Chains A and B, each alone.
Chain A
Amino acid sequence: MNGASSDPVLSVRDLTIGVGRSAELLHGVSFDILPGETYGLVGESGSGKSITGLSVMGLLKRPLGVTGGSILFQGEDVLKLGRRARRKLRGDRMAMIFQEPMTALNPLATIGRQIAEMFVVHRGMGWPEARRKAVEALESVRVPSPEERARSYPHQLSGGMRQRVMIAIALACRPDLLIADEPTTALDVTVQAGVLELIAELCKAEGTAVLLVSHDLGVIANMCRRVGVMDRGRLVEEQDTKALFENPLHPYTRGLLAARPRLGSRPVAGRGRLTELDEVVADEERGRDAPTLTTPRGSRLEATA
């Protein structure tokens, strides 16, 4: 696109998100995504992955808001842009896929219309032309009989098909950045792989950078070259995916990896259940120099030990 290819598409710097000044949910998160790169964000629910993605899009809901830091998109701080300019960016230069394909589409509008809307809004096309482009878009995400599907309503499609439609919408304007927030979590395991493959393939073909938010380490391992691990509003570790799995540096990451259910592993004698994260983290932190501690409410405390 513009500039040298090594310039990051997205550069998040010391991003802080909170409710006014009273409560902070994200404490100074920084990471870069290079053009065409797929960057993973992992962490438990509530660790701040999703609000990071939403803040890049400018979709945080009140009373949540960005309270500090900057979000540089292709070198430009989007937080300094006006509402109009920000909106023009959404859908066109950066797009987002959400977790719930069941509710993410308008139940009263046809699939074709919901895709065609992208071309009408961002490309200034008329509806007939936009509709033809929508059928092409459906074809590109490999929805069978796209002509007919374009006339269907969301409730007539399966979850996997709907997520393909969401991908078609997100990639309609060939954005430079795709934010995928748990794109396969709500899907049947059998269709998960297909959807992920599709995202990977289409983004590779277009050189689209992807911010993949997931709590599923398997998904991250398959899709991303670099991973950021989030815990309680902080980015606690960032590594190449391979290195992360082989040599996790942060105790939390070790906990996260230990909490994976493993095929063929036997439960520890007397404890016939999966390892829970809290226990692992507590074990790991005992006697070590943990960087921060967080009280259950989420307000920060510096560890004194």
Chain B
Amino acid sequence: MPAADGRTPARRAAPTPCEAKPFMLRFIIRRSLQMIPTLLAVVLIIFVIFSVVPGSFISSLMAEGRNVMNAEVLAHLNEQFGLDKPLPVRLWDYLWGLAHFDLGISYRTREPVWNVIEPRLWPSIKLALTAMAFAAAVGIPLGFLAALKPGSVFDTGTMMLAVSGLSVPEFWLGLLLMYVFALQLGLLPSFGYQPGSIRHIILPAIALGVSPMALLARTTRAGVLDVMNADFVRTARAKGLSEPRLVRAHVTRNVLVLVLTTLGLQIGSLMGQAIVIEKLFSWPGIGSLLVDSVATRDIPVVQGTVIVIVLWFLVINMLVDVAYAAIDPRIKVT
């Protein structure tokens, strides 16, 4: 029984937390496999939506060129792009390609979709991570400090800022930043992308990072207040620990567990949220590619970008779960 043999030692090792490493790998593999149904559902939804909405790539071509095409040309083009086939067949073809890591051919550029997406990937990741780094570096300490003196002027002020940050529309904030820092002060470029440039990323990253920053400040504050009221903090006080030591040794890690959830969800959804900001700052990322592709009904590229955005979310979520297990001994990944 080779199959049974392969399983038994793994099961026997399960209760000992010291041997977590091979389980981590198993966990990652299992979670990766679990992503497949999610991706299938996403593909199905996009396919259905674009077959229902009026207009196709051919009609958008016609609108662009403003020339009237005769039915023969239309039929020829439809056939060339495979649009004459029924939906189930197109769906099957697409899934078959996907199973071979082939995202199809872009209608617009006639290139493989991956070649269109790939150069956009790094700018998008860079923007998302920079925005998140800004959000975490500002939001978490603000929330922490606010919670240590609840009810103080600093606390009230920070939370007012946080609520404003959450309610302000991103594009308006982006325009405001452009106006102040690019137009009035002339300190930073207003838009555009240069591969190695830090100056170009500052404004879009701030515009994108303000709402996760506000959210992180609020969750951190709530988390710290929660943990400071915990019984084990009272125990730590009874042990005669100084406040700084108590916060360092007993509060921080416990708060981190709580903040990690928000942090992970935010990083995951940031790539999708970046659409408006990328468009506004002419940032050559996934978001602006998605908008352009929707406008021209370049459905293979739309599908490709949505898959990338969903995949990013799923991978980040998996990493967050791994991080949980690393921080909290009560959580075991299986």
What residues make up the interface of A, taking CB atoms closer than 8 Å to B?
57, 59, 87-92, 95-96, 98, 100, 103-109, 117-118, 121-122, 153, 155, 166, 169-170
B254 pairs with A104, CB closer than 8 A: no
* Number of chain B residues whose Cβ lies closer than 8 Å to a Cβ of chain A: 22
B242 pairs with A87, CB closer than 8 A: yes
B240 pairs with A104, CB closer than 8 A: no
A90 pairs with B232, CB closer than 8 A: no
* Interface CB pairs A-B, < 8 A, 13: A59-B234, A88-B240, A89-B240, A100-B231, A105-B235, A106-B232, A106-B235, A106-B254, A107-B254, A107-B330, A108-B328, A118-B239, A169-B239
Q: Which residues of B contact A109 (CB under 8 A)?
A: 249-250, 253
B231 pairs with A121, CB closer than 8 A: no
Contact with A along B240-262 (1 / 0, CB 8 A): 11100100011001100100000
CB interface residues, B 181-202, toward A, < 8 Å: none
Given A59-B237, A89-B240, A90-B239: A103 and B245 within 8 A (CB)? no
Q: Which residues of A contact B328 (CB under 8 A)?
A: 107-108
Given A105-B232, A108-B254, A155-B329: A121 and B241 within 8 A (CB)? yes
B242 pairs with A104, CB closer than 8 A: no
CA–CA, A100 to B230, complex, Å?
11
Tell me the nearest residue of chain B to A179, going by C-beta: B238
CA–CA, A59 to B236, complex, Å?
11
Please give the distance in Å from B191's CB to the nearest CB on chain A.
45
A90 pairs with B329, CB closer than 8 A: no
Tell me the nearest residue of chain A to B330, going by C-beta: A155
Q: Which residues of B contact A166 (CB under 8 A)?
A: 235
What residues make up the interface of B, taking CB atoms closer than 8 Å to A?
230-232, 234-242, 245, 249-250, 253-254, 257, 327-330
Please give the distance in Å from B8's CB to the nearest CB on chain A.
24
The 3 closest A-B CB pairs, nearest first, are A91-B240, A90-B240, A103-B231
CA–CA, A121 to B230, complex, Å?
21
- Most chain A CB neighbours (cut-off 10 Å) among B230, B237, B254: B237
Q: Which residues of B contact A104 (CB under 8 A)?
A: 231-232, 234-235
B240 pairs with A92, CB closer than 8 A: yes
CA–CA, A89 to B237, complex, Å?
11
- Most chain A CB neighbours (cut-off 10 Å) among B234, B239, B257, B328: B239
What would 8 more interface pairs be, CB under 8 Å, given A98-B231, A103-B231, A106-B236? A59-B238, A90-B238, A91-B241, A98-B235, A103-B232, A107-B328, A108-B327, A109-B249
A117 pairs with B249, CB closer than 8 A: yes
Please give the distance in Å from A97's CB to the nearest CB on chain B.
9
Tell me the nearest residue of chain A to B241, going by C-beta: A121
Please give the distance in Å from A212's CB to the nearest CB on chain B.
16
Q: Which residues of B contact A170 (CB under 8 A)?
A: 238
Tell me the nearest residue of chain A to B257, going by C-beta: A108
CA–CA, A57 to B249, complex, Å?
21
CA–CA, A96 to B240, complex, Å?
11
CA–CA, A108 to B330, complex, Å?
8
Tell me the nearest residue of chain A to B233, going by C-beta: A106
Please give the distance in Å from B230's CB to the nearest CB on chain A.
7
Q: Which residues of B contact A98 (CB under 8 A)?
A: 231, 234-235, 238
Please give the distance in Å from A184's CB to the nearest CB on chain B.
16
Please give the distance in Å from B231's CB to the nearest CB on chain A.
4
CA–CA, A82 to B250, complex, Å?
24
CA–CA, A169 to B235, complex, Å?
10
Please give the distance in Å from B163's CB to the nearest CB on chain A.
26
B231 pairs with A122, CB closer than 8 A: no
CA–CA, A89 to B240, complex, Å?
7
CA–CA, A225 to B180, complex, Å?
76
Q: Which residues of B contact A87 (CB under 8 A)?
A: 240-242
Tell me the nearest residue of chain B to A115, going by C-beta: B239
B232: contacting residue among A57, A96, A107, CB under 8 A: A107
